[in-house]
């Protein structure tokens, strides 16, 4: 990931990501991007492998669409699990699916460094459900 969008908050520091970047050493441009829309922020991407080749798998990202109230406080409006094709980062069809998460199951943006086996299995299950529909 590259630069973060700093958002003023109470006494703590919050950095919300607004894009996924892929370093590409084969192109003259050093990286490709997937940028989320206005008032949308993402958590740390998690790669789920489905083979032995580079980029053979899925990139999962929690995306949150925010509202701002009159007091300029951010409020979660919708939460999505976004499935990206790592081979297509930077192209219009990089998003394989954007699954809306029920409000009672919203994922936090703070999955930073959360590489537990249980989470990977959960995401693999969600991908399998999507692919089998």
Provide the residue-wise pLDDT of the chain in tens; the chain has 133 residues.
333 333 444 444 445 565 566 776 766 666 565 656 666 777 778 888 888 888 888 888 888 877 766 555 666 677 888 888 888 887 888 889 888 887 776 666 555 555 566 666 666 666 666 665 5
Binding residues: 112
Which positions make up the binding site for Fe cation? 112
Query: Cβ(111)–Cβ(46) under 8 Å?
Result: yes
| Cβ 47 vs Cβ 59: under 8 Å | yes
Q: d(Cα 90, Cα 118) in Å, to the nearest integer?
A: 30
Taking the domains of the chain in order of start, what are their residue ranges? 5-132
Cα within 13 Å of Cα(131), Cβ side: 8
pTM over the 0.75 mark: no
């Amino acid at each position: 990931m590259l630069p973060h969008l700093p958002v003023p908050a109470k006494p703590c520091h919050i950095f919300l990501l607004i894009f996924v970047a892929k370093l590409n050493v084969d192109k003259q441009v050093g990286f490709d991007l997937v940028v989320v829309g206005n008032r949308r922020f993402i958590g740390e991407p998690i790669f789920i492998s489905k083979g032995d080749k580079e980029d053979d798998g899925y990139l999962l990202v929690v995306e949150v669409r925010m509202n701002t109230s009159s007091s300029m406080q951010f409020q979660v409006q919708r939460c999505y699990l976004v499935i990206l094709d790592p081979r297509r980062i930077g192209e219009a069809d990089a998003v394989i699916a954007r699954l809306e998460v029920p409000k009672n199951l919203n994922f936090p943006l703070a999955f930073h460094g959360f590489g537990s086996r249980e989470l990977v299995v959960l995401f693999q299950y969600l991908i399998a459900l999507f692919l089998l529909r």
